[in-house]
Structure 1
Amino acid sequence: MRTDSETDPSLDYVQRVNRAIDHVLAHLDQPLSLEVVARAASFSPFHFHRVFKSLTGETLNAFIKRVRLERAVSMLGRTQGRSLTEIALACGFGSSSDFSRSFKQRFGVPPSAFDVQAYRRDRRERWQSTVADPEYRHLLQRLPPGENPDGFEVELLRLPPRRVAYIRVPDPFSSLGAVTGAAERLVEWAEARGVAGGTWYGYMWDDPEVVAHEDCRYDVAVEVDEVRPEGEVGRFDFPAMTVAKLEIKGAIDLEQRALDWIYATWLPRSGMVPTDQPCFEVWHGRPFAHGYEHFELDLHLPIRSLLAVGTDRG
């Protein structure tokens, strides 16, 4: 039986706009014309720019420029040994001067004068006020660099390519119900097709310390061999990658401390840098199988050797 989400024509537009976003994120360092992105979404360019803006609130050009600058901010704070020119090219700017001009228009100062840590602190405070009631906000306080009260240990893994079916949740921090609802719908979809036994993932495409929470995107996903995108369910193919793995068995504060530790303490000492792929969760069983306050999952941070920067993307 087909669900309402599969027969609602508006969800087909959502899925196709998600394909366009996926294409942009996967090719951010390349030219991204309206024609190319519209083709990825199976729209004519004439109609696509109107559809994209109506569903995202941004024009395609504004979206591309924003995510390029946000990726640059992430790289400024978490990528060692890369010049501003290398960051500019990696984020799709034609030159360092184009990058500096666009950066100053957005942030008020050129990248060379940007205080990325102050910017992250401010975003963190805004994000905390969004995701937690005042009495629980202390659970999301930043773990200072160098501290590891939970005894986190990293395991390096090499993962093969994988294909996932996903449902995307915009602004996931505003409502846990939006994320759990998407998980329930995808589980129902997967059970109906006999693929619910695959590995389940959660992909956070955006860093809330860089990206405004309302612009963040989270994907609930399940690994599949084959899938035909339909309704709100999309498909994404991930390449082989090396990841730093941390096991999490606890509440949201434990997961947040793990993220703080791996980025601020482990990563700078590791000789590794993050790749362009998102950090993601690998659930033990199905999403929220252990409830909504206790999580059992592995955090995976895609990384590559600092020596390999500029030679590959995975």
Structure 2
Amino acid sequence: MAATTYPERINRALDYIQQHLDQPLSLEDVARVACFSPFHFHRIFRFQTGEPLNACIKRLRLERAVTLMTQRRPAGPRNAASLTEIALACGFGSSTDFSRSFKQHYGVPPSQFDVAGFRRHQRERWQDYVADSDHRHLLDGLPPGENPDHFAVTFRDLPPRTVAYRRIHNSYREGAVTTAAAELLAWAESRGLADGQWLGYTWDDPEVVPPEKCRYDVGLEVPPITALPDGEVSRLTFPAMTVAELELRGGIDLEMRALDWLYGTWLPSSGCVPTDEPCFEAWIGRPFAHGMEHFELRLQLPVTRA
């Protein structure tokens, strides 16, 4: 198989890891998904991603744990989620293993971790990373309880969706996402698929994950029978899901306020909990059809009733 297909095969491995973080993940199993021999896979994975397989799995589990810790509240549907339950939900064999790994990574055990303070710090770092001083304010957070834009959620049931995608690592680099979108658009136009539903979604919360580690997919819904993508275009099938949906037409500041309101104000009182699927940007038309200053899309947060 040509070397140009290596990124697609590594993406398959990363998709498998992301979907099975709560389960044992052996080198042999992940290598099999990527169609590599176990003997060579760990070297190829490290070269393609910049970190060893076991380190990547542990980091993703810890980042998911921080996200779940964010969702723990003094009252409400997540109240029963103890640190032990979070540890098991993230694939750690015991609370002791979780606590030891967490302290090694974050400097303190999970019981002493200031989740809110950590998220504030990470957001400030993310703002510095992606915006200059003249535009940094567009990424300011919206305080919980505020809704100056009068956002309102509608629920929508979506069937299983097969998505052809280009994945961008270190996705906040200038031009990285628009370049990938243009490449996928050219791929889709050559196959008569370009007028389907375009999607964007990030696998990583920049208030939890360092911006240089964040991954973003530019995707396009395709028929399940579409031939396997070639080169660096990958394919993933999302299950049927219920999403909380917001339609947006405006700039990046509007989208940031919408995300803050969705997670910080609406979700805690909604009676819903988010699933492990990413929050989608479902583009109205083709991606970046209005440039980088104006977006027309629907935010789709996958949820379940608590």
Identity of aligned residues (%): 64
CA distance in 2 between counterparts of 1:130 and 1:36 reads 36
State the Cα distance separating 1:108 from its structure 2 match: 1.6
State how far apart, in whole Å, the 1-side matches of 2:160 and 2:92 are: 28
Post-superposition, which runs of at least 4 consecutive aligned residues in structure 1 deviate over 4 A? none
Aligned equivalent of 1:63: 56
Match of 1:224 in 2: 222
Q: CA RMSD in A?
A: 1.1
Looking at structure 2, the residues matched to 97 and 246 of structure 1 have their Cα atoms a distance apart, in angstroms, of 40
Equivalent runs, 1:31-50 vs 2, <5 Å: 31-50=24-43
| AA in 2 matched with 1:38 | A
User: Displacement of 1:203 after TM fit?
Assistant: 1.1
Report the CA distance between 1:94 and its aligned residue.
1.0
Match of 1:278?
Answer: 278
Greater fraction helix: 1
Letter paired with 1:271:
G
Counterparts of residues 1-314 of structure 1 (less than 5 Å) = 9-79=2-72, 80-81=78-79, 82-175=81-174, 177-225=175-223, 226-306=226-306
SS of the residue 2:135 aligns to: helix
Deviation at residue 90 of structure 1 after TM alignment: 1.1
Structure 2 gap ranges (5+): 73-77
* Counterpart Cα distance in 2 of 1:295 and 1:126: 24
Instruction: Give the residue type in structure 2 aligned to 1:263.
Output: Y
The CA distance in 1 between the partners of 2:85 and 2:250, in whole Å, is: 39
Q: TM-score by structure 2 length? A: 0.95
- 1:284/1:296 contact within 8 Å kept: yes
- For residues 62-101 of structure 1, what are the alpha-carbon distances to aligned partners after superposition, in whole Å with 9 as ceiling and x for unaligned? 0000000000001100242211122111111111121111
Deviates more, 1:50-59 or 1:10-19: 10-19
CA shift digits 1:134-153 (9 cap, x unpaired)? 01111111100000001110
Query: Take 1:173 and 1:280, find their aligned partners in 2: how far apart are those partners?
Result: 17
2: CA distance, partners of 1:90 / 1:304: 16
Cα distance in 2, alignment partners of residues 296 and 240 from structure 1? 24
CA distance in 2, matches of 1:124, 1:20: 29
Contact 1:78 1:263 in 2 (8 A): no
Provide the rounded CA distance (Å) in 2 between the counterparts of 1:32 and 1:248: 39
* Aligned partner letter, 2:263: Y
Moved more, 257-266 or 103-112: 103-112
Please give the alpha-carbon distance, in whole angstroms, between the structure 1 residues aligned to 2:16 and 2:143: 36
2: CA distance between counterparts of 1:230 and 1:186?
11
For 1:312, the equivalent position in structure 2 comes to none
Aligned-partner Cα distance in 2 for 1:227–1:25? 24
How far apart are 1:109 and its partner, in Å?
1.4
Provide, for residues 197-223 of structure 1, a one-character-per-residue CA deviation record: whole Å limited to 9, x for no partner: 210000111000000111100000000
CA drift at 1:10: 3.9
SS of 2:183's equivalent? helix
How far apart, in 1, do the equivalents of 2:207 and 2:235 lie?
27
Q: Partner of 1:51: helix, strand, or coil?
A: helix
SS at match of 1:303: strand
Give the match's secondary structure for 1:228: coil
Partners of 2:240 and 2:111 in 1: CA distance: 34
Matching residue's letter, 2:282:
V
